[in-house]
Amino acid sequence: MSRQRPVLRRLLPSFPSRPRPKLVSLRTTFAVSFAAVTAAVTVLVGVLSYSAAARLVRVDQESVFDEVVQDLRDEVRDQRMAPEDFSSAEPGHDIVRPARTDVQVLGPNGTVVDGGTPGLPVVAADRTVAGAADAGEMAEHKDVDVGNDVYRIATVSLGGGRGAVQVAQEFSDTEDLLRALQQRTLILMAAVVTAAGLFGWWLARRITHRLVILTTAAENVARTRRLGVQVPVTGHDEVGRLGRAFDRMLGRLAQSEEDQRRLVQDAGHELRTPLTSLRTNISLLHRIDELPPDIRDELVADLGQEARELTDLVNELVDLAAGQSDAEPPRKLDLADLAEEVAALARRRTGRQIVLRASGDTSSYGRPGMLQRAVSNLVENATKFDRDGRAPVEIAVTGPARPGVVRVEVLDRGPGIAEADLTRVFDRFYRAADARSRPGSGLGLSIVREVALAHGGAPFAARRAGGGSVIGFTVGGSLPEGRRGPEEAPEGV
């Protein structure tokens, strides 16, 4: 089948690959979106405003015309009037000649007695109304072209076949006014949309400027793999918080990388000694039959001891690496109960007397496995350096020493710690001069420090009055920032 695939590829038609769409920047997207929203709102407001204004103007003009016509009908019904009464030469009838209103008087047969300015058209319906017997009858005509203007005309009968009066109102100037208003509205909307686009671009540039800086820093980190990059982002809004969080994340990653590098270097250095000793003893196994029985037994014992020390060292390295993981879910726990579990296990393993003293509120928030490992290391360290001691090993859990802080310490009556070593006992692989002959890797107290720091606390070591040492750590009551997710927040925080 694999040999047929190139043939099938040649037989199948080739289609041009679709070009990948060009990415649009957030700045452009924001500016276009801002302009689009502004344009939509502006157009909507402009259309609604123009429609409302045009409707009000038209309704007002129509209502004025209707009032004029109604007044005319009421007047001819109340008084017996002739066409001459409405002549432009007769005083007292200016009431029917308001602004933009034209009046034309018709005789009994519909002839024009007094023409309007301009003259209004007379049709059959108007002649019929002029010859009507009842006063106040009306014929209405809408959208009548008179010259270059548009009028609305109403013809009102005088009654008794005496004629009629035509009242016309010009609507074309109103429409011209509305068209001018429409043009100005469109120009204003275009200006607002243009200004919104420019303002949106400026605002998007201002907002996304820090995001561009943050993106550039992230791309530089991805390209150069250098984590020690200072992120120049300021502000107290979401972008500023994102920049500071990114800066802290880079700092933590850089510190983690440095810790990993140092751990590998220290582990490699510490592993050389037992491996060299194992290689030397293994080379002697080729001549084991030539060795005396006592030397042979000593060689086998050394191999077993070195294998155990190497196993312990590897296990503690694994524990140290696992202690830096945040995979274990944190929860509310009682450190006194946890210390009692450690003490019970130590009693079974060593046969030593382990005494627990607890006072105050010893509840805290943390990862049980890590804290149990830290307390175990302290107890193992105490029993190891006070192997033949008859005094009990004491575990003291006190809380709160400060608000939300619980203190855990282990006290022994061993040889104690020299003043010069108090500040270094928590360093990885560090072993005091008088402790190098004893079994151990120097990682137990380093794990205690990592656990304490991971829980917002700190390790401590001191010389005990009357001989021995006091070694312990504090727990801060909550995980430090960066080690807790939203789902891990303690109740009440």
pLDDT per residue as tens digits for the range 406-424: 999 999 888 878 787 787 7
How crowded is residue 412: how many other Cβ atoms within 10 Å of its Cβ? Answer: 26
Give mean pLDDT, residues 17-34.
65
Q: Is the peptide bond before 400 cis (omega within 30 degrees of 0)?
A: yes
Contact 139, 125 (CB under 8 A): yes
pLDDT of residue 45: 84
pLDDT per residue as tens digits for the range 169-195: 877 666 677 777 888 888 888 888 888
User: Of 353, 378, 390, nearest to 452 (Cα)?
Assistant: 378
- Comparing 258-262, 393-397, 413-417, which segment has the lowest mean pLDDT? 258-262
pLDDT of residue 488: 38
The yes-or-no verdict on residue 77 having pLDDT over 80 is yes
pLDDT of residue 433: 47
27-32 LR contacts (CB < 8 Å, sep 24+): 27/201, 27/204, 27/205, 27/208, 27/212, 28/204, 30/200, 30/203, 30/204, 30/207, 30/208, 31/197, 31/200, 31/201, 31/203, 31/204, 32/200
User: Of 18, 19, 37, nearest to 193 (Cα)?
Assistant: 37
Pick the more confident residue, 325 or 201.
201
**How far apart are alpha carbons 68 and 63 in whole angstroms?**
9
* pLDDT tier for residue 18 given thresholds of 50, 70 and 90: low
Q: What is the pTM of this model?
A: 0.45
pLDDT per residue as tens digits for the range 122-133: 888 888 888 888
- Comparing 216-230, 243-257, 370-384, 428-442, which segment has the lowest mean pLDDT? 428-442
User: Of 87, 96, 102, 86, nearest to 151 (Cα)?
Assistant: 102
The yes-or-no verdict on residue 201 having pLDDT over 50 is yes
pLDDT per residue as tens digits for the range 357-377: 999 989 988 888 889 888 988
pLDDT of residue 490: 35
Pick the more confident residue, 19 or 395.
395
Cβ-Cβ contacts under 8 Å for 98 (sequence gap 6 or more): 64, 68
pLDDT of residue 492: 33
* pLDDT tier for residue 54 given thresholds of 50, 70 and 90: confident
pLDDT of residue 407: 93
Q: Where are the alpha helices (DSSP H) in 79-168?
A: 124-130
Contact 478, 484 (CB under 8 A): yes
* pLDDT tier for residue 442 given thresholds of 50, 70 and 90: low
**Mean of the per-residue pLDDT values of the chain:** 76
pLDDT per residue as tens digits for the range 276-334: 777 887 887 777 777 788 887 887 887 887 787 777 667 766 766 665 555 678 888 99
Pick the more confident residue, 188 or 443.
188
Contact 294, 288 (CB under 8 A): no
